[in-house]
Structure formats: C-alpha cells, structure tokens
C-alpha cells in the first residue's frame, strides 16, 4: 500500500465540464423558436408562394444563426494527437491520452482525455479554457493553471500561446480574433438590414446588402487565415506532434459567405434581366393584378367620346329668328 493510495494529494481533480456549449444552445433555440412560429402560419399562405416563402425563411434564419453562433464557438482551428506522455510535473508516471487543441476567436481550449479515461487511480478528462478576449488576461489564466497544478500536457500546449513564449503567436491570434469578431458583428447587422429591405419589397437594395454581408464574412475568414499562416513552434509529444487545421466553424462560415454571395448575385442579376421572375420568387406578382382590379372598380370618369356625344355641330343647329317686341 503506497502513500496517499497512489494518488497525488496536491492536485485537484478534473474539472466537471458541461455536456454542451450553453451559448450555442441558446442561440440555436431562439432561431428554432422563430422558425417554428413561422411554420405554424405557413398553411395560411396559398399557392406556390408557400414554397418560396418557406425557402426564404429557412435560408434567412440559417445565415443569421451561423453568423451569430460562430462568434462564440471554439473550433475555428482544431487538432488532435494520441500520445504517451507524462501526466504530472516531477513524476515519472506516463499515461496514454488524446490531447486536443481548439482555437477560437476568444481564446484557446486544451483537452486531455485518457485512453482509457480511468488510469493511475484518476479520471483523466480535462478541458481547460485560456481566454484572450477583451478584459481577459491570458498570462494570468496560465499562471492560475500552474498554481492549480494542471496536467503537464495542458500546461505545455497553453504555454505555446502565452506572451512570453518564443513562438510569438499570441499577438497574431489575439488581434485576428478581435478583427474577425468585429467583422462578423458588422455582417450580422447588414444581414438584419437585408431582411428588413426584403420585407419592404425593396429587392435590389436587399440584394446589395446580401453582397455586403458576403464580403464581410469572407474578409473575416481572410483575417483568421492570416493568423493561422504565421510561423508556429512544433507542439511535440515524444515522436508525434500536434498539428492543427481549420475547424467546423471556419468551414461553416465559408459556406455561409458563399451562400450570401450567390443569393445576392442572383437577386441583382434577376432584377436587371428578368424582374418578373424575381417578383414571383418574392410573391410580388399579385400586386399588379390587384392594382388592375382596383382600377377597374373605380368609378369611370366622363371620357372625351362621351362628351362629344352631347355636342352638336354648328351646321346642324336650327336657325331661330327672333321677332322684335
């Protein structure tokens, strides 16, 4: 029987992680609630305009939800590696674990998951976040991790992104994250303006706002890719190294930007080539018929032909002789 039952008394247990991202869940719930609310009134729309209206609703909500959600995700750049590495400082104990790195706009997440999870009488399942957004101090978070005695792989990966690291990638990722976040907030505002213009049947300017939204989204991806192309120090765990690539949030944002670009170009081109089909897609073709019906129901004004019917030529007038009194 060993001292402390084979465990290390100076280190806390693994942090309990919430099973899902609450911010993402709230955003998705709000947009799904809006979608369900509009689906309820969908049977009240008659004809083929129902399908076009539903497609516009789904595409619009999808673009808005993606632009807003990726602001808070932590998988813009991800990487995993399976390695046999030391678990704690000043200890020769080796563990088999999956080590993950997740880079977001607001910071870095480092994941350590045992393979299997239960090893050396401990549950090895860590997920630590080191923020660099406004009002956060990355180096302070890293120092707190040192004081808590986090596992060595987590501290080793987190140290690569500190301001004192010779890798010098902290400044690039932090500035890129701020610029990307600001650009995406602008894109969300332009998306709201485009939805407002489409609801007011101002289709051409709505298409222009969609093009502006697409441009802002693509520029945000450019800002992030510039930070990812900076020279990095290798994150080595024995014979294997941890390499990262673009994550789900990056590719989802790229798909949304291309979708906005295609829709905006389609609206602008249709407005100049075939505006009737564009009005049909936005269910505006009935307005012209209603205007014609309204005009036909208006009281007819006396026309020139009717007035001419009451006029008699001067040649046909009877000559009346007046007798003097």
Domain boundaries, the chain: 22-74+179-231+256-281, 77-170
Residues 6+ apart with CB under 8 A from 55: none
High-pLDDT (> 90) share of the chain, %: 42
CA distances (Å), origin 238, targets 88, 111, 163, 241: 16, 18, 25, 8
Three-state SS string across 103-117, please?
ECCCEEEEEEEEEEE
Confidence at residue 66, expressed as pLDDT on a 0 to 100 scale: 94
- Please say whether the beta carbons of 85 and 236 come within 8 A: no
Confidence at residue 184, expressed as pLDDT on a 0 to 100 scale: 96
Residue 129 three-state SS: strand
Is a pLDDT exceeding 70 seen at residue 298?
Answer: no
Q: Which of 28-42, 116-130, 177-191, 279-293 holds the top average pLDDT?
A: 177-191
Count the helix, strand and coil residues of the chain and give each as a percent rounded to the nearest 5.
55, 15, 30
Residue 135 three-state SS: coil
Is a pLDDT exceeding 90 seen at residue 249?
Answer: yes
Is a pLDDT exceeding 80 seen at residue 238?
Answer: yes
Is a pLDDT exceeding 50 seen at residue 13?
Answer: no
pLDDT tier for residue 293 given thresholds of 50, 70 and 90: very low
Rg (alpha carbons) of the chain, rounded to whole number:
34
């Amino acid at each position: 029987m060993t001292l402390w039952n084979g465990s290390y008394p100076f280190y806390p247990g693994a942090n309990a992680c919430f099973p899902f991202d609450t911010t993402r869940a709230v955003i998705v719930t709000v947009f799904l609630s809006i979608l369900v609310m509009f689906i309820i009134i969908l049977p009240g729309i008659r004809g083929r305009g129902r399908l076009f209206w539903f497609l516009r609703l789904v595409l619009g909500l999808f673009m808005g939800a993606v632009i807003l959600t990726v602001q808070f995700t932590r998988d813009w750049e991800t990487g995993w590696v399976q390695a046999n590495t030391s678990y704690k400082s000043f200890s020769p104990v080796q563990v088999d674990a999956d080590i993950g790195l997740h880079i977001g706009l607001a910071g870095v997440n480092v994941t350590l998951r045992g393979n299997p999870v239960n090893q050396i009488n401990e549950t090895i399942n860590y997920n630590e976040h080191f923020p660099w957004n406004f009002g956060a101090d990355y180096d302070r978070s890293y120092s707190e991790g040192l004081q808590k005695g986090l596992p060595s792989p987590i501290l080793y990966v987190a140290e690569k992104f500190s301001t004192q690291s010779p890798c010098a990638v902290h400044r690039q990722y932090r500035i890129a994250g701020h610029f990307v976040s600001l650009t995406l907030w602008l894109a969300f505002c332009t998306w709201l303006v485009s939805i407002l213009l489409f609801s007011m049947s101002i289709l051409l300017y709505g298409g222009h706002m969609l093009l502006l939204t697409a441009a802002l989204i693509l520029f945000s991806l450019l800002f992030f890719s510039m930070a990812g192309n900076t020279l990095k120090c290798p994150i080595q765990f024995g014979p294997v190294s941890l390499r990262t690539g673009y994550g789900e949030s990056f590719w989802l944002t790229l798909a949304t930007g291309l979708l906005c670009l295609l829709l905006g170009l389609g609206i602008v081109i249709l407005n100049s080539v075939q505006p009737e089909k564009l009005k049909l897609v936005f269910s505006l073709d009935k307005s012209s018929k209603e205007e014609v019906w309204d005009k036909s129901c208006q009281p007819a004004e006396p026309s020139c032909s009717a007035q001419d019917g009451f006029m008699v030529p001067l040649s046909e007038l009877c000559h009346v002789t007046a007798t003097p009194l």
